[in-house]
Structure 1
Amino acid sequence: MIAYMFGAVTRLYKRCLREVDNWYGGDNLEVRFQKCIIRARFDANKDEVDTRKSQILLADGCRQVWEKRHFKPFRYALDPGGSGYDRERESPDEIVDSDQWTLAEREQFPYYFNTRELRKKELLAHWAKIEKAWDEEIASIQTQLPAAKTTATAAK
């Protein structure tokens, strides 16, 4: 029961923060101020041990969020209710790199496919340079001895 209540309170808290973002989204200072007020309201009742009272507080909080919800809430594109939710998405790379292209079809667009292969080779070479630089930096870090402590910090 306690774990359920904790999860419900956490969901309510997150929902409250989302509503603050919906109402005050453009003004960062006001958003931060309102979120601090909400955190203070939740912290005021965090040590409640009476389960009946905590259930009443939770229900009241849910009612308040429902009454004060935004008329047009922000939705991420891939979330339920968003513009891209439940749509089939395939990466263009998966389509172009697939084996469904026959040689005759590839010969119809030689510039595109040749340029694409060239760009892929350039990208792999670029990442090889980055990986080499990272490996060299890690090797130099691992071979350097740590700086000796000063006498002031050793005396403490």
Structure 2
Amino acid sequence: MANVVKTSSLYRFLSHKRKVKALYKKSLRHLEAWCVNLGPGEFCYERTLLRARFDQNKDIQDETKAAQVLRLGEEEFWESQHVMPPVFTNSPYGGVMYERFDKYRIDEYYTDLWANEEKAMFPDYLAKKEEWYKIREKVWPEEMKELEEWDKKNVEQGVPMSDKFPAAKSSDGYPPFWWRTVTRPLMRPSRMKWYPRTGQVY
């Protein structure tokens, strides 16, 4: 369990780009809630101004200044958020269907427990998964070495700590923790209930 991150600390590990996208999406949804009774024209006008504000700061190269702008934007969103924003049914923040199908949500390594006739129905996926695992075991020492060099370089240059990971050293290389995205658990993997061999549904 050493690689488990607390939910309260997960935000610290998100990239700056992802945080900005999340802020823009939240702002757009809450703006829609504020303009719901004003007509579509008012909402189109306000969301155009909102997008212009984000585009105004998209080319900031200084990481410290970009983080400061993001923090100010999040503070402004918190002060201006709607009291009853729209909530999607599958949203973990008040969605009425959140985790309704949790019984079908299993980790992808459960596919190793499938019978041979079930595995035969997904030959491409299982072959890729085995290949990913072999690559992960092979490049793991290189990923850790790359992270150590990245941290040492930042300390020597006096760069503030951030959640940014280094890119791959080569165009066809593997960045640190690439396999967490490639082999992420499937949301609802399930065994096929229909077998072409028998045509039986159960």
Give the TM-score taking structure 1 as reference length.
Answer: 0.52
* Structure 2 counterpart of 1:94: none
Deviation at 1:73, TM superposition (A): 1.3
Which residue number in structure 2 is paired with residue 46 of structure 1?
A: 58
Structure 2 unaligned regions, length at least 5: 1-13, 103-200
Distance in 1 of aligned mates of 2:30 and 2:18? 18
Higher RCO (CA < 8 A, seq sep 6+): 2
Q: Secondary structure at the match of 1:70?
A: coil
User: Which residue of structure 1 lines up, in the alignment, with residue 27 of structure 2?
Assistant: 16
TM alignment of 1:28-107, pairs within 5 A: 28-80=40-92, 81-87=94-100
Per-residue CA deviation, residues 63-111 of structure 1 (Å, 9 max, x unaligned), is: 111111111111122222122222359xxxxxxxx86xxxxxxxxxxxx
State the shift of 1:42 in Å: 0.8
Distance in 1, matches of 2:101 and 2:26, equals 28
Q: How big is the alpha-carbon RMSD for the aligned residues of Structure 1 and Structure 2?
A: 2.6
Compute the TM-score of the two structures, normalised by the length of structure 2.
0.41
| Structure 1 stretches of 4+ moved >6 Å | none
The amino acid that maps onto 1:62 is E
Find the aligned partners of 1:40 and 1:88 in 2 and give their Cα distance: 39
Measure, in 2, the Cα distance between the counterparts of 1:85 and 1:5: 27
Cα deviation, residue 13, structure 1: 1.0
- The structure whose residues are more often helix, as a share, is 1
Alignment identity in percent? 33
Separation in 2 of the partners of 1:17 and 1:87?
27
- Distance, in Å, in 2 between the alignment partners of 1:79 and 1:67 is 22
d(CA) in 2 for partners of 1:6 and 1:77? 26
- The whole-number CA distance in structure 2 between the counterparts of 1:66 and 1:36 is 20
Q: Runs of 5+ in structure 1 lacking a partner?
A: 90-97, 100-156
